[in-house]
Amino acid sequence: MSTELAAPTAPPHSGPAAQAAPPPQSAAPARSGLPTTSATPAAPTAPAVPGTRAPRSARAGTPRHTGRVVALIAALTIALVATVVCSLGVGQYALSPGEVVGVLLQAVGIDPAWAPEASPAHGVILDIRLPRIVLGLIVGAALAAAGVLMQAIFGNPLADAAVVGVSSGAALGAATSLSLGLATFGMWTTPVWAFIGGLVAVFTVYWISRSGGRTEVVTLLLTGIAVNAIAGAALGFMTFLGSSASREQIVFWQLGSLNGALWQNIALIAPLVLAGLVAALLVARRLDLFALGERTARHLGVRVEALRIVVIVTVALLVCAAVAFAGIIGFVGLIIPHLMRMIIGPAHLPLMITSILGGALLLAGADLIARTAVPMADLPIGTITAIVGGPFFLWLLIRTRRTSGGWG
């Protein structure tokens, strides 16, 4: 009897039947690892939850991908430095690269023998061109970083601060303060009102475009069009109400320009943009989990609502600070993140870093064209970015429709 009792109990632990049993047990959790939560053995499959994302993450960490990211960062940095040096020397008062470098070294206390001694060169570089270029770098970096955040939080590559109306909302807030002559916050009045206008615009678009826990692309674009139309009408009304001086300033908002940049303006917006960029870099890795879907992100420990609020406030901070002194400059946050994503993939931390550099490079190049394309004239920089961004946006729409098979 004892051997008969042992015989039934033996197969589950040894013998051919035992060898066949484990595969079904391990295979079942593998198939149901993500949806089911009842099986405790699903714990080994928890790493497989990022498994659907893990191949991308794994590729993002490979030496080949890391080398590509490093190479891109180096190329963007070199191109940015070359563009800045070229922009400092090109203009009605031409300077050689050596003279530009010499003036910059003298500004930091180094006096090389080959540096120019004429005071006009110092005034042109340090008081006119350099503030303008620095403001362009700050604005470009802010708009590109805001574009990365917008595309991540809305879950599609068509989102942009200008497309969804936050830029127009910020410009409307600034125009309101200028037309009404408000001075509530002293020298910070215009940036604060721009911040409020942009925040209201982005929250409006976000709430309307979400349905059933996801963002609808068509609703996103249509809501952005509506917000831009409303903001444009309000800007026209403020132009009618304002004085002649305020009307010129409102036109400045609508065209976008870096002309007349001052170090005082840079001192105002630089801390805001720096804070926004730091926040964007800190949340970049969590956006990778957010891209898996809100439900999956919650299971992985992401506080979705808190992350969403942080991202929206950060976008408003970056865009409103940029618009405060540069006006409406569109398509930077659309072009740069998408191009960087096509080169290095969707991982948000390297995407954020390269987009910041790419946005600064784009604005530096656009400003160089705006200053030198037409002799004795200064083109609005918003026009330059629109000439480049408009066709790119159309191409992106066509490409997205072809790859996804529609807008559903």
Instruction: Report the C-alpha dihedral over residues 25, 27, 33, 35, rounded to 10 degrees.
Output: -100
Is residue 7 a part of any domain in this protein? no
Is residue 11 a part of any domain in this protein? no
Is residue 61 a part of any domain in this protein? no
- 15 sits in the region (left: phi over 0; alpha: psi -120 to 50; else beta) called left
Is residue 211 a part of any domain in this protein? yes
Helix (H) or strand (E) run with residue 214 in it: strand 214-215
pLDDT digits (tens, 9 = 90+) for 33-46: 333 333 333 333 33
- Residue range(s) defining the domain that contains residue 353: 134-404
Is residue 87 a part of any domain in this protein? no
pLDDT digits (tens, 9 = 90+) for 67-114: 899 999 999 999 999 999 999 999 888 888 888 888 888 888 787 777
Is residue 261 a part of any domain in this protein? yes
Is residue 160 a part of any domain in this protein? yes
pLDDT digits (tens, 9 = 90+) for 178-195: 888 888 888 778 778 888
Total domains present in the chain? 1
Mean pLDDT of 350-376: 93
Pairwise CA distance, residues 92 & 297, whole Å:
55
Assess whether pLDDT exceeds 60 at residue 128.
yes
Mean pLDDT of 131-140: 95
Q: Which of 199, 219, 201 is nearest to 209 (CA)?
A: 219
pLDDT digits (tens, 9 = 90+) for 262-291: 898 899 889 999 999 999 999 999 998 888
Pairwise CA distance, residues 343 & 69, whole Å:
9
Give the chain's mean pLDDT.
Answer: 79
Block residue for tokens 């066949």: 20
Q: What is the CATH number of the domain that holds 335?
A: 1.10.3470.10
Is residue 19 a part of any domain in this protein? no
What is the pTM for the complete model shown? 0.77
